[in-house]
Amino acid sequence: MPFPTKEQVLEFIRSSPVPVGKREIARAFHLRGQDRIPLKALLKELEQQGAVDRGHARRLAAPGSLPEVAVIQVIGPDADGDIWARPIDFPEDDAEPQIVIIEDKKLDRPLAAGDRVLARLERTDADVYEARPIRRLQSRAERVVGVFEKGPHGGGRLIPSSKRVKTEFTVEAKDVNGARPDEIVVAEVEPARRLGMPKARIVERVGRVGEAKSVSIISIAEHHIPFQFPPAALEQAEQATAATLGSRTDLRQVPLVTIDGEDARDFDDAVWAAADDHPDNPGGWRIMVAIADVAWYVRPDDPLDRSARDRGNSVYFPDRVVPMLPEELSNGWCSLRPHEDRPVMAVEMTLDAQGRKLRHRFMRGLMRSAARLTYEQAQAAMDGQPNDLTGPLLDPVIKPLYGAFRSLLKAREARGTLELDLPERRVFIDDQGRIERIEARQRLDSHRLIEEFMIAANVAAAESLEKKRWPCMYRVHDQPDATRVEALREFLETLDFSLAKGQVLRPKHFTRLLQQARETPYAEMISTLVLRSQAQAVYAPENLGHFGLALQRYAHFTSPIRRYADLLVHRALIGAFDLGEGALDKSDAAAFAETGVHISGTERRAAAAERDAIDRYVAAFLADKVDAEFEGRISGVARFGLFINLRGSGADGIIPISTLPQDFYDHDERYHALVGRRSGRRFQLGQSVTVRLVSADPLTGGITLEMLAAVPLGNEATGTDRERPPRGQRQGPRGRPPSVPRKGGGPGKASARGTEKAGKPKNRGKKRRR
């Protein structure tokens, strides 16, 4: 038998239901001893190309595959009584595989939502696994947030607020805990038999549906975000007083100003710039970034510190903020209010005309803000429309800031950063908690100015701590995943775009690609795919650099009011430069790795809660517009349907595959498309579409749509007429996609007739935080 080709070996590995070793591959292709060496070289080449992953015992599997044995958590039964589960610690940005538990006879009692088990997994489809439990692991009761509906005999039912929870729950009269109809509650799921609706016990009542702040309350409860401060932390905050000058550097004569959003209440950073008059630095600048001295008020392991570490960061909703620190500090002593003395950690930097930093020095100072400006005010003044506040500041303060900003931009362009243009939504809420309007958030030069000043200060902090050999909590953005990059490169080739190959990828290569695509119909699609190819930024004590910003070292220093990582960096700087009380003890560095994992997790938790709240607000905004038509774009393709992003509102909805025009659709993963077998009709990532709103559920944030027309990719610029397919079957009011198929459905196959099942989509479109 001839030696197999690379494609044959790859297909064998990818089609295997479990990871395989070299021995199984050799046996499958009848290879003898003399063939083992070239087989070993071929497998190594596949691994280096990112075509396969090597896991436990050096066994090989398709990229992103689950191991043969893994820990899974039970989600609960579906309407058919099948028990579903999810993998533990699966990468957040990846599409989460679906797991159905096909037998649990080895266990001492039936499985219930929240249970964790060690299970043997066997893949039955591209993203579907069957699990056979090995043993139950210790786990706490799973909590579910939802709305309580009263029943006829004192009990009732719980309707979950999460799109991920596939079933409702029965609440017996003894477990109601005083909950009233239409009240938002937190409940613990009880162990249940395989058949019948699972049971839950209400443990907390958090608000009522329809109240002004019910949307954010649901997100807070659902994501377990701490929102009540311990009494000891509140007492400590209330006892805080003004800091004195003492040994601090007096910065009260420096005209530092804050520039923030119109609705900002905490002002934790101030900036200043002036032309450098030194003859050796023509065209250069001196700039200063002053940051609220939170470390003066929050000392290591005191009540405020323990509470801040637990929260990790502030969480921002359209109608409220859940702060990391009590308001007495976040909006009081640590807020750089105009014309009030405030303690700060400041860094003064000298830049050359090209924006390169020549030197810097850190100090602990006392400042007095000259003005509180908004982004719009600063930009309007620079554009020739100053007002009474900005007019006197234009020449001495604002113009020098923009001059230094232009130099910093030159340095940014020279580094070659990753420039992703990601639109953001701004939701305006009235006093009754209803959406007034949704607007695209403006991106002004004043925003970029502050961003560049903060980046420069963050770099200076990381460099100083590294030079002083003090612990540093780095902001790490690793290289993109090789498998995702290779998949992106293959797809781009089908559009006649290219991504550098055979060399180390730099951020500038991605930016060049985005610039080439900017004026084409593929611009949004390519931008989305580039974003998804990137690693997620995290906090860690080991420096891996920041890929997106093209920086060798980077740390967060500029927002200690709302990020615990920044507070740790402040403490380290105080210790490194011997700047007084509140310094980090070097022995605390032993806990940095664990702390980095924790605060990276709280950051992801905050982002998910903010995103879910926005989704619910937008669903409420669209709820009275059912049957209306909208323009949008396909933002994601999965085997169970299409994700659509609506223009204007930015809402994200799903078109279940069962509602697409009558055909059988194959999921073409390489081309990010659903392709009809009979008609050849394609629905591809990036296509412009016209859709009808089928349902919008304010409780879950779920939006279900129906396809009306689609423009084939490449025809948008030429004005080609939209293809209007016949309407398919409509979906139910909850907008549930079909479930995942059991064993037997071929890989990547999906039916427009709704005879197969698919899992829930993950949230998409998250903006990376730098």
**pLDDT at res. 730:** 39
Average pLDDT, the chain: 85
Cβ neighbours for 56, distance < 8 A, ≥ 6 positions apart: 19, 67, 68, 69
Query: According to DSSP H, which parts of 83-167 are helical?
Result: none
pLDDT of residue 720: 46
Task: Report residues of the chain scoring pLDDT below 70.
Answer: 1, 49-51, 55-57, 63-64, 79, 89-95, 103-106, 108-109, 126, 138-141, 191-195, 212, 502, 714-770
Closest Cα partner for 572 from 581, 559, 585, 563? 585
pLDDT at position 394: 97
User: Which class for 99: exposed (0-12), middle (13-18), buried (19 or more C-beta within 10 A)?
Assistant: buried
Contact 336, 258 (CB under 8 A): yes
pTM of the model: 0.76
The bridge status of strand 257-260 relative to strand 371-374 is: parallel
Residues 6+ apart with CB under 8 A from 741: 124, 125, 128, 756, 757, 758
Residue 623 buriedness (CB in 10 A; 0-12 / 13-18 / 19+): middle
Query: Looking at residue 654, what is its pLDDT?
Result: 95
CA distance 73 to 115: 6
Cα distances (Å, whole numbers) of residue 328 to 113, 233, 239, 368, 531: 41, 11, 9, 19, 38
Task: Determine the pLDDT at residue 670.
Answer: 82
DSSP, collapsed to helix, strand or coil, labels residue 22 as helix
pLDDT at position 747 is 33
Q: pLDDT per residue over 60-93, tens digit each?
A: 777 667 888 888 888 877 767 778 888 876 654 4
